[in-house]
Amino acid sequence: MARRGGASRVTIRDVARVAGVGVATVSRVLNGDPAVAAATRERIYAVMAQLGYQPLRTARALSRRRTDAVLVVLPLLTRFFYVEILRGIEEALLETNIAFLLRSLERPADGSQAIASVRRDLVDGVLLISLAVTPAWLARLERERLPAAVADADQDVPLPRIVVDHAAGARLAVRHLAQLGHRRIALIDRPDDPFAEKRISRRLLGYRQALQELGLELRTEYEHVTPFSVEGGTMGLYSLMQLPVPPTAVFVGSDTQAWGVLRAARQLGLEVPRDLAVVGYHDIEIAELLGLTTVRVPMRVIGRRAAQLLLECLSGRLARGEEVVEWVTPELIIRYSCGARRREPGTGGVGE
Amino acid sequence: MARRGGASRVTIRDVARVAGVGVATVSRVLNGDPAVAAATRERIYAVMAQLGYQPLRTARALSRRRTDAVLVVLPLLTRFFYVEILRGIEEALLETNIAFLLRSLERPADGSQAIASVRRDLVDGVLLISLAVTPAWLARLERERLPAAVADADQDVPLPRIVVDHAAGARLAVRHLAQLGHRRIALIDRPDDPFAEKRISRRLLGYRQALQELGLELRTEYEHVTPFSVEGGTMGLYSLMQLPVPPTAVFVGSDTQAWGVLRAARQLGLEVPRDLAVVGYHDIEIAELLGLTTVRVPMRVIGRRAAQLLLECLSGRLARGEEVVEWVTPELIIRYSCGARRREPGTGGVGE
DNA sequence: GTGTATAGTGGAATCGGTTCCACGCGTCAA
DNA sequence: TTGACGCGTGGAACCGATTCCACTATACAC
């Protein structure tokens, strides 16, 4: 039933007719089937070019039962950290012809709504970034028979995943501070937000491990959990400095909070790093501007690898249910707030 | 030809059979055709619920020749400004069942590659955000017969668009500074980046208009264009302060540069706002932390409106080629860096 | 020379929707 | 009573790909 349309599309049948072959053969060429004779293949390629043929994605999608698209779900798109991960994903997917749909979660409640948008007929796979992968998620993925990969989430999710070694990151920071002569090193970290993943426990673990290794005293009054905001950091430092024996150095679980710590330090008349050494976490863009020594989490790499993992699931190179865990290790970025370096004049910096 | 698959899907034919009607009628119900009798409609709804029927997107896409997806193209996803616009778009689209694909441009060269991904069989429409809409873009959209909407781009693109009144924004800032008693008001703005759109000229225009309205002297040595970065702002202020008659206030064309201005001020021993009043632009997240008075560009609104504009094109409510221009006006956010308010102790702030 | 494997190919059914066209049936004007 | 009309509906032909199955021609073993 010829519906009205403009100049009707060049279809696979047109190509077949002009090339003097059957549609099946054209389709085989399109899909790289090696059974086609080289001469035939060449001829078909020539005709396709001549007619300007392009296979229709929607028709392929119906026939092959796949969409060549994936869904990316991540929280708080407005945070630099997540945007960078997204960039990594985009980079990896650009090398394929797979498109991606995006769903960002702003509030915890968005989760269930997002789960409903996970549909087999919409995408071929799902990337879950920095999310608490609940049983509801797993059930949905199972029901829709959708492969998924996970990045920066809990360590024990039964899906292929990229795990960030936050404990190692914390150890790097603490060891560095100890090496600079500090013996009283405190921790200010973000809360165990149910909306994000349980990452504090691993950073806390690394912090304690490092202190023990170094033979330093573990003091619970040095472990502070404050909100994931600049003010949170400010509050944290005020509390710490009221202790009878205040720390001389702080490892802060996010650069955002670290900014607050730097501000509080100045308000308290402390000079960073002389009176207080500070090391942050993440290496978001403001860290450099603040001259903040921090632990860099390789965000783009995380995104890229997670995408590649999902692609392997899609191509079948990775069997469904196969256990794959890839670790990513953070890296120490030394700037000025720790005291390891003299600040160069005019570069702006600490406490700005 | 029954291909292998798991439990085969519930199709429209199953629904028709169980409900005792033809497939055409079920399809009509799905598409809200009022010609179907109420009783029939009810019965079909019941059967759909009972069987757990969900129409297959890919099949609809092939048949209706539309994908129910749109493409969003924007630059520099890592900038807060653009991410916020994206959030607005997402908000608007969530209210529909239209998905979106994302393409972000990091370098000017990415443009041509992005143009190639604009395909009729991939999406039903395109949103171009903060981009220079070149003839190549327009030609491609024409060729693919794809409707598009534009936000925060040149004023004279022949597409439905959301235009931000940057001239008005600049006037707000300058008038405010004048009202606080300033007579020597300088401008530091970002360059006319070919990668982004020509927005500086409009801000510059507003700056000059305001000065003229107020009867203040226009001095070209007060108009500075520096890179779109913190350092750019720093450089800008150093230059201004070396003038024989330096300004007492600066309007800065981006909060990022304004941060640099605040930093430079402190380095020069100037106290903000006593010795120098500063007003920024955009109201990105750091502005509040810096106590920066700024001109807020309603980013989410821009995204939301642009998306709605595109939806109107898709639904046909907006005729192809119809001229629609919607203006968005920025708003002045008064904090501390302009001197209009005393800073409350403990709130952090200027020069931080 | 006959049988069998194999490489290369074409026809037609199929994926699951949409929509054109035809048709039955009541209502109403002539 | 008849014809026109419109409402509600069903059948079947599409949309443009993929892929199963059947078929031919050639190569090879016996």
The answer to whether the CB of B69 falls within 8 A of the CB of B97 is no
pLDDT reading at B6 higher than 90 = no
Q: Work out the pLDDT band at B273, boundaries 50, 70, 90.
A: confident
Task: Measure, in angstroms, how far nucleotide D7 C1' is from residue A3 CA.
Answer: 24
- In degrees to the nearest 10, what's the CA dihedral of B199, B200, B205, B206? 80
Task: Measure, in angstroms, how far nucleotide D30 C1' is from residue A35 CA.
Answer: 28
Flag the least confident range among A108-122, A137-151, B116-130, B220-234.
A108-122
Nearest residue to C14 (CA, C1')?
Answer: B1
Residue position matching structure tokens 């794959």: A324
pLDDT reading at A334 higher than 90 = yes
Alpha-carbon span A114 to B232, nearest angstrom:
41
Contacts of A106 in chain B (CB under 8 A): 87
Residues 6+ apart with CB under 8 A from B202: B155, B165, B166, B167, B170
Distance from CA of B91 to the nearest CA of A (A): 10
Q: What is the pLDDT of residue B344?
A: 55
pLDDT reading at A6 higher than 50 = no
Task: Measure, in angstroms, how far nucleotide C15 C1' is from residue B6 CA.
Answer: 14
Q: B87–A69: do the CB atoms touch at under 8 Å?
A: no
Name the residue among B78, B234, B285 with its Cβ closest to that of A83.
B78
Q: Is the link from the previous residue into A160 a cis peptide, with omega within 30 of 0?
A: no
User: Which residues does residue B127 pair with via DSSP β-bridges, in sequence order?
Assistant: B72, B149
pLDDT reading at B28 higher than 90 = yes
> What number is the average pLDDT over the span B107-118?
84
Distance from CA of A103 to the nearest CA of B (A): 8
**Full set of structural domains in chain B with CATH:** 12-55 (1.10.260.40), 69-164+299-328 (3.40.50.2300), 166-297 (3.40.50.2300)
Alpha-carbon span A192 to A315, nearest angstrom:
36
Structure confidence by residue, pLDDT tens digits, B185-202? 999 998 766 455 555 578
Alpha-carbon span B129 to B195, nearest angstrom:
12
Q: What is the pLDDT of residue A343?
A: 66
pLDDT reading at B85 higher than 90 = yes
Residue numbers 12-51 of B with CB closer than 7 A to any atom of strand C: 12-13, 23-24, 26-28, 30-31
Helix (H) or strand (E) holding A161: strand A161-164
Distance from CA of A101 to the nearest CA of B (A): 5
Alpha-carbon span B79 to B72, nearest angstrom:
16
Between residues A202 and B178, which one has the greater pLDDT?
A: B178
Alpha-carbon span A351 to B349, nearest angstrom:
11
Alpha-carbon span A329 to A318, nearest angstrom:
23
Backbone angles phi, psi at B86, to 5 degrees: -60, -40
Kindly give the pairing relationship between strand A223-225 and strand A185-189.
parallel
The answer to whether the CB of B290 falls within 8 A of the CB of B262 is yes
Q: Work out the pLDDT band at A344, boundaries 50, 70, 90.
A: low
Q: A78–B285: do the CB atoms touch at under 8 Å?
A: yes
Identify which of A241, A249, A263, A264 has the alpha carbon closest to the alpha carbon of residue A207: A249
Q: What is the pLDDT of residue A2?
A: 36
Contacts of A86 in chain B (CB under 8 A): 77
Alpha-carbon span B336 to A196, nearest angstrom:
34
The answer to whether the CB of A130 falls within 8 A of the CB of A154 is no
Flag the least confident range among A102-116, A190-204, B323-337.
A190-204
Alpha-carbon span B171 to B211, nearest angstrom:
8
CA distances from A140 to A113, A150, A324 (A): 12, 15, 20
Q: What is the pLDDT of residue B318?
A: 85
Distance from CA of B197 to the nearest CA of A (A): 22
Backbone angles phi, psi at A9, to 5 degrees: -60, 155
Task: Measure, in angstroms, how far nucleotide D24 C1' is from residue A34 CA.
Answer: 19
**Taking every pair of C-alpha atoms in chain B, what is the biggest distance, in angstroms?**
90
User: Nearest nt to A23, CA vs C1'?
Assistant: C10
pLDDT reading at A7 higher than 60 = no
Q: What is the pLDDT of residue A112?
A: 85
Nearest residue to D12 (CA, C1')?
Answer: A1
Name the residue among B59, B83, B263 with its Cβ closest to that of A352.
B263
Contacts of A78 in chain B (CB under 8 A): 80, 83-84, 87, 285
DSSP letter for A247, please.
-
